[in-house]
Amino acid sequence: MDDIRPNLPPTPTKFMDLFRVFIRSKQMAYRTEKTYCTWVVDFIRFHNMRHPREMGGTQLDEYLSHLAVKRNLSVNSQKTALNALVFMFKQFLKIEVGVLNFIPSSRPKTIPTVFSHEEALAVINQLQGTFKLMASIMYGSGLRRSEVSRLRIQDVDFANGCIIVRESKGMKWRRTLLPKSLIDQLKTQIDTALTLHSKDLEEGFGEVYLPNALHKKYKNAPTSPIWQYIFPATRRAKDPRSEKFRRHHIDESTLQKRVALAIKKACIMKKSGSHTFRHSFATNLLRAGTDIRSIQEMMGHNDLSTTQIYTHVVGIQERGVVSPMDS
222 or 89, greater pLDDT: 89
Selecting among 20, 145, 278, 279, the annotated active-site residue is 278
Q: Which of 97, 84, 9, 14 is nearest to 49 (CA)?
A: 14
Maximum average pLDDT range among 27-36, 91-100, 206-215:
91-100
Selecting among 150, 174, 279, 301, the annotated active-site residue is 301
Can you tell me the distance from the alpha carbon of 184 to that of 326, in angstroms, rounded to the nearest whole number?
A: 45
Chain center to CA of 101: 31
169 as an active site residue: the answer is: yes
Condensed to tens digits (0 to 9), the pLDDT of residues 184-204 reads: 999 999 999 999 999 999 999
257 as an active site residue: the answer is: no
How many alpha carbons fall within 13 Å on the CB side of residue 98? 9
Mean pLDDT of 122-132: 96
Name the DSSP letter for residue 54.
G
Can you tell me the distance from the alpha carbon of 51 to that of 18, in angstroms, rounded to the nearest whole number?
A: 13
The whole-model pTM stands at 0.80
User: In sequence order, which residues have a C-beta less than 8 Å from that of residue 268 and are 6 or more positions away?
Assistant: 115, 119, 122, 123
b/e 50-86 (16+ beta carbons within 10 angstroms → b):
eebeebebebbbebbbebbeeeebbeebbebbbebbe
Selecting among 31, 169, 175, 257, the annotated active-site residue is 169
Condensed to tens digits (0 to 9), the pLDDT of residues 141-193 reads: 999 999 999 999 999 999 999 999 986 665 678 999 999 999 999 999 999 99
Question: φ and ψ at 165, to 5 degrees?
Answer: -100, 110
Condensed to tens digits (0 to 9), the pLDDT of residues 241-293 reads: 667 788 899 999 999 999 999 999 999 999 999 999 999 999 999 888 898 99
Can you tell me the distance from the alpha carbon of 148 to that of 249, in angstroms, rounded to the nearest whole number?
A: 10
Selecting among 20, 36, 144, 152, the annotated active-site residue is 144
